[in-house]
Chain A
Amino acid sequence: MMPDLGKYTVAVLGAWGAALVLLAGLLAVTLWQGARMRKALALAEARAAAERPRKPEQAE
């Protein structure tokens, strides 16, 4: 399964490892920020929706 990398094992695995870690990190941060924003927005929308029907009553 594992190809024989000879004397370059460290270089190849290091480069691949570092690159994949960076890519995965970018993806993880993006997904995390997206999820956090989605949650915060849903909360705010809910609050806004709860506020709106009450407003006409207050005006009366």
Chain B
Amino acid sequence: MQLSARVLPWLVGLTAVSLILGLGWGFFFTPDDYKQGATVKILFIHVPAAMMAINAWIMMLITSLIWVVRRHHVSALAARAAAPAGLVFTLIALVTGAFWGQPMWNTWWEWDPRLTSFLILCLFYLGYIALWSAIEDPDTAADLTAVLCVVGSVFALLSRYAVKFWNQGLHQDSTILKVGEKDPLDVAYYVPLVICILGFVLFFIMIVLLRTRMLIRARRLSVLQARERMA
């Protein structure tokens, strides 16, 4: 708590700097792509958000495991704190992807493996958050959500492969998808993109710290209230 209080101002500053620098650079000073035109600018939000959506789940998995093994309360709370952030990142990835797909693929939504897996990830986040808020006893909630997180991770991976398989079974992979992934990225995009990713990582850490502090306070508050009721 004290450590996080000391780190937080620096973190907020760094996050702000890297986000403003990266996003500003990405928005104002990058050239248009010869094929995608100005829509390439969406990349600077879409890619970091998508990365963080997955990383947030991995972080939740790790903190859940730490909770299960070491019974460290803050760890469970950190997992809980990360879930809304992960959900928001997933939504951002989906929404920006839709805005990009509209002019590029002429459709807001395509049942492409990647898009579908993200939609599924979104559902997993929703279930996880719902389970946390449905259980009153904090330790029970932490245990059950940890189990859900572990099992969910396995099934999320399974779904990813299933979805890949499913779509190949229906029609060919659309080649447009490979633009921006397989092609080497130009330096003009690469540098601001890296700064944006850094910004998103810092933003995520900041949100998790803030929310964890909030949850620790909530826990303390409920203890105090219980004591008052006893007295």
A and B, direct touch (CB closer than 8 Å): yes
Residues of A that sit less than 8 Å from B by CB:
1, 3-9, 11-12, 14-16, 18-19, 22-23, 25-27, 29-31, 33-34, 37-38, 40-41, 44-45, 47-48, 51
Instruction: Tell me the count of chain B residues lying within 8 A, CB to CB, of chain A.
Output: 37
Q: Which of B39, B92, B203, B228 contacts A47 (CB 8 A)?
A: B228
B228 A8 Cβ-Cβ under 8 A: no
In the bound assembly, the distance between CA atoms of A40 and B88 in angstroms comes to 27
Chain B: which residue is nearest A47 at the CB level? Answer: B228
What's the least CB distance linking B80 to chain A, in Å? 12
Looking at the assembled complex, report how far the CB atom of B199 sits from the nearest CB atom of chain A, in whole angstroms.
10
**B residues adjacent to A (C-beta < 8 A):** 27-28, 32, 37-39, 41-42, 45-46, 49, 84-85, 88, 91-92, 95-96, 99-100, 102-103, 203, 207, 210-211, 213-214, 217-218, 220-221, 224-225, 227-228, 231
Pick the contact of A12: B38, B210, B213 (CB < 8 A): B38
In the bound complex, do residue B95 and residue A15 qualify as a contact, i.e. CB atoms below 8 Å apart? Answer: yes
23 A-B residue pairings within 8 Å (CB atoms) = A4-B38, A7-B103, A11-B42, A11-B100, A12-B39, A12-B41, A15-B95, A15-B100, A18-B99, A19-B95, A22-B88, A26-B84, A26-B85, A26-B88, A30-B214, A31-B210, A34-B214, A37-B221, A38-B214, A41-B221, A47-B224, A48-B228, A51-B228
Q: A residues within 8 A CB of B227?
A: 48
- Please give the distance in Å from A16's CB to the nearest CB on chain B: 6
**Would B210 and A34 count as touching, CB distance under 8 A?**
yes
**Would you call the interface of chain A mostly helix, strand, loop, or mixed?**
helix
Closest B-chain residue to A26, C-beta based?
Answer: B88
Partner of B92, one of A4, A22, A27, A31: A22
Give complex CA distance A14, B220 in Å.
42
Q: Which residues of B lie under 8 Å from residue A25 when comparing CB positions?
A: 88
Chain A residues whose CB sits within 8 angstroms of the CB of B42 once the complex forms? 11-12, 15-16
A45 to B, closest residue via Cβ:
B224
Contact B49 A19 (CB under 8 A): yes
Distance A35 CA – B27 CA, assembled complex (angstroms):
33
Whether B103 and A8, one on each chain, are in contact in the complex, defined by CB atoms closer than 8 angstroms, is yes
Given A5-B38, A8-B37, A19-B92, 7 extra CB contacts under 8 A: A12-B99, A19-B49, A25-B88, A26-B88, A30-B214, A44-B228, A48-B228
In the complex, residue of chain B having the shortest beta-carbon distance to the beta carbon of A51: B231
Q: Is the CB of B211 within 8 A of A30?
A: yes
| Distance in Å: Cβ of A15 to nearest Cβ of chain B | 4
A43 to B39, CA, bound (A): 50
